[in-house]
Amino acid sequence: MSKRILVTGGAGFIGSHLVEGLIEQGFEVEVLDNLATGQLDNLKHLWKNKKLHFTFGDIRNREIVKTCLRDVEDVVHLAAVTSVKGSIDEPLATHDINASGTLNLLRASVDARVRRFVFASSCCVYGDPHQLPISEDHPMNPLSPYAASKLAGEGYCQAFARSYGLDTTCLRLFNVYGPRQGGGEHGGVISKFVERLSENLPPVIYGDGDQFRDFIHVRDVVEAFVTVLQGERCAGEVYNIGSGKATTVNELIRQLLTLLGREGIEPVHIPAVSGEIRSSLADIRKAMQQIGFRPRLQLEEGLSLLVGRKVVYADR
């Protein structure tokens, strides 16, 4: 009998890619998603696969979570409110889902005797860095309710590891991009830029565009999760998952303008958003040394794949 894994938020951007990867590896996957931002279309190519099991529900619902954890050996917790702006508008709801929801899932995982619990955290927990690249022992300084809720989730994971012996690992994801990432309010910056450029609209840049990010393709992120699930030396650890390379927003725009053949379009600059981090770059040496993590897809290649896919859709 193959191992059964629960993936919360499995119909979302990262989650659907992870579900796909786990099934390809031979795992049975239980998906729990309330479809607030996830989409069933993200899993439609897997519907006929008997290794996929889907439950519509909320991570805060104890009975639903308990049911989903039956015969589950490992949990990957991705379900969350992910919008910084949304968290500023609705801090209590963000805490309820991201912090209290994680606590509910951890408690149920202990009761269900889950072997390993992998939590998707965020580089936002660092805030504006004091030094670059950012290592895992960098001081925490969350600038938004979203970042604070992710740090709370990490704290609960570490507390449950110490208090109950639950094997927990936290992955601090940097700026993930790739297919199936929406361009709306909850979308990533790359998807938003591609969406507007594909419609011959100017991309909107918050601030001067000199802020830089560490962009990592979703394919590499999936590999990191799978590696942790299959590894034996990850208990209680926290890892940065990024590319280890910095790209300014202005440079990102230049690459996209060239790839899409929209060099004549000028970006529009508007004031920066409160709570957004100015600069971010991951120090990934710990993940490389301890779990053998290696980002494989360079940004230029990843953008080419993404833009090719988007252009096909835009021209239909």
Catalytic positions: 146
What is the Cα–Cα distance from 134 to 65, expressed in whole angstroms? Answer: 35
**Beta strands at 116-122 and 74-77: parallel, antiparallel or unpaired:** parallel
Tell me the C-alpha distance between 65 and 58, whole Å.
8
Amino acid at 294: R
Q: What is the DSSP letter of 267?
A: P
Q: How far apart are CA 140 and CA 132, in angstroms?
A: 14
Contact predicate 216/12, CB 8 Å: no
Amino acid at 65: V
DSSP state of 29: E
Residue 97 to residue 286: CA distance in whole angstroms:
30
Measure the CA angle with vertex 224, ends 114 and 297; round to 5°: 160
Which residues, at least 6 apart from 47, have a Cβ–Cβ distance to it below 8 Å?
none
- The helix (H) or strand (E) run that includes residue 85 is helix 84-89
Distance CA 153, CA 276 (A): 20
Q: Are strands 247-248 and 212-213 parallel, antiparallel or unpaired?
A: antiparallel
The tally of CA atoms less than 13 A away on the side-chain side of residue 262 is 23
